[in-house]
Amino acid sequence: MKIAIVGAGFAGLSSAKVLTALGHDVTVYDSTPDVGGVWSRTRRYPGLKTQNNKGTYHLSDHPMPRSYPQWLRGEQVAEYLKSYVDRFRLEPVLRLGTRVTTASPTAAEDGWTLTTDDGGSETYDHLVVANGIFSEPVIPTFDGREDFERAGGRVIDTGSLRSLSEVEGKNVLMVGYGKSSCDVAVEVATVAESTTVAARGLLWKVPRYVGGFVNYKYLLMSRFGEALFRYQTLRGLERLLHAKDSLVADGIIGTLQKVITRQLRLKELGLLPNKPLKTIAKTSISLATEGFYDAVGEGRIDVRRETEVVRLYEKDGRPWAELSDGTRQRADLVICGCGFTQRVPFLPDEVQGRITDENGNFQLYRQIKPVDVPNLTFAGYNSSFFSPLSAEMSAVWIGSYLAGHHTLPPAERMRQTVRERVNWMEERTDGAVPVARSWSRSRCTTSMRCSTTSGSTCRPSPRCCSGCCRCVRAPTRRSPRNW
């Protein structure tokens, strides 16, 4: 089968490896000049590191080098993915620096015709969308931006900051409180005149070593850790943990909350979130950036909680910003860590309408297969704490499906499964976080939702991967011979 894959990050590369091993004729497109997706050199900001440690952030048959640190720098992740390409001889199938402008179903809907920005056009039997859930950075619409920029101010997203020389000696306003904003703030504060973080809401952040010695992966990235957060259905130990209105689970999470609060000095710094730690399953969670809270305590970073940017403006020929707490301050550079727009811009509107519901939620069975569009699958939309493994398992699922090794339920049953999943996700996020929304998501994905869009921690991923394994009856450890 002739297959096109759009995206050369973890999902796209693992899909290419699986599908080529199964004998398919694969082509991988990516607009960037190198592999890596969000880890591409075109998107890495100063200080970018993984949230996962290296033991939980690699593909199953290609471990991270022993020489790498526990938490990887952005360039190390990119080097790892390049070594994956080299090991499995994927270079010939890559078309880097090539943007897919349109992907349209053929007249008989038995394939897809792709056009690219270099003027090329080619038809494939199957299309795998692996463009990622961090597609396009969101920059809010700021009143007065034109006057602000005429005065010499700049507005960029975190991924567009290439060097600290851009902020040296300047007044920097960070917008957002997610991982990218806090990462960049720590780096910026070492050279900037001032660094302010405007945080519309405070999120819980988990230290790498809880209590100073327990790696957080043992608390949140295990079967027991995922069981602490109520799932769509309960089974086994989960029934005990969530009996009597989750009395036991909430008690354990409450203890963890006290430890984190004390360790990060959240009360002392005035940065204690308004909601309890257990609500990380409804909002968002990220790893605490090393040095962030120390910098706040030392006055090098000023966090304005429950604060938004009201407007940008020019004063006396210089760029300024007004915040919702009434503060007016110099702001030479506004750096936005406000999430991403999750889009599949190359699909026509007619197809978009068939893969999303009236609220824009992607309708993907197993977070992979649109029910009503043939010859189309999505890889990597089942994001999780174990994103590489989740992406790889979606690739295995796709390979098994295309080979006819497992059959799908009737269409109506798949639609019902998707509806129940989406309804549950919207209920658990109190309607504040769109599920699989095709137009909006925030940074720091740590969820395993169906084509998630907000970065909420729904649950870690073992169950998500187990679900795919149950479908395809795949072993945990795999080699090309097993596919």
Give the model confidence (pLDDT) of 265-295 as tens digits. 999 999 999 999 988 765 556 789 999 999 9
**Are the CB atoms for 19 and 395 separated by under 8 Å?**
yes
This prediction has a pTM of: 0.84
Residues 332 and 362 in one domain: no
Is there a domain that residue 407 lies in? yes
How are strands ordered across the β-sheet holding 328-330? 309-315, 318-323, 328-330
pLDDT score of 156 more than 80: yes
Residue 144 makes CB contacts below 8 A (sequence gap 6+) with 311, 312, 313, 314
Residues 178 and 278 in one domain: yes
Q: What is the mean pLDDT of residues 306-331?
A: 96
- Cβ-based neighbour number of residue 307 at 10 Å: 19
pLDDT score of 255 more than 80: yes
Q: Both tokens of residue 21?
A: 């091993």
Residues 268 and 303 in one domain: yes
Is there a domain that residue 212 lies in? no
Domain residue limits at 77: 2-136+341-482
Residues 372 and 411 in one domain: yes
Residues 76 and 153 in one domain: no
Is there a domain that residue 304 lies in? yes
Q: 301, 321, 338: which is the final residue of a domain?
A: 338
CA distance 39 to 73: 9
Comparing CA positions, the residue from 192, 142, 152 lying closest to residue 172 is: 192
**What does each C-alpha distance from 254 to 43, 47, 103, 231 come to in angstroms?**
37, 31, 48, 18
Residue 229 makes CB contacts below 8 A (sequence gap 6+) with 249, 278, 280, 281, 457, 458, 459
Residues 176 and 124 in one domain: no
Residues 23 and 90 in one domain: yes
Least confidently predicted of 48-57, 193-202, 425-434: 425-434
Is there a domain that residue 395 lies in? yes
Instruction: Please provide the average confidence, as pLDDT, over all residues in the chain.
Output: 86
Q: What is the mean pLDDT of residues 251-260?
A: 94
CATH at 166? 3.50.50.60
In the chain, % of residues over pLDDT 90? 63
Q: What is the mean pLDDT of residues 353-368?
A: 89
DSSP secondary structure string for all residues of 292-322? HHHHHHTTSSEEEET--EEEEEEETTEEEEE
The total domain count for the chain is 2
Residues 387 and 317 in one domain: no
- Ramachandran region, residue 389 (left: φ > 0; alpha: ψ -120 to 50; beta: rest): alpha
Per mean pLDDT, which of 100-104, 245-249, 252-256, 342-346 is the most reliable? 100-104
Residues 458 and 414 in one domain: yes
Residues 130 and 145 in one domain: no
CA distance 13 to 37: 10
pLDDT score of 475 more than 60: no
Q: 312, 338, 364: which is the final residue of a domain?
A: 338
Residues 173 and 291 in one domain: yes
pLDDT score of 445 more than 80: no
pLDDT score of 442 more than 70: no
Is there a domain that residue 244 lies in? no
Residues 376 and 433 in one domain: yes
At residue 220, the pLDDT reads 79
Q: 338, 369, 399: which is the final residue of a domain?
A: 338
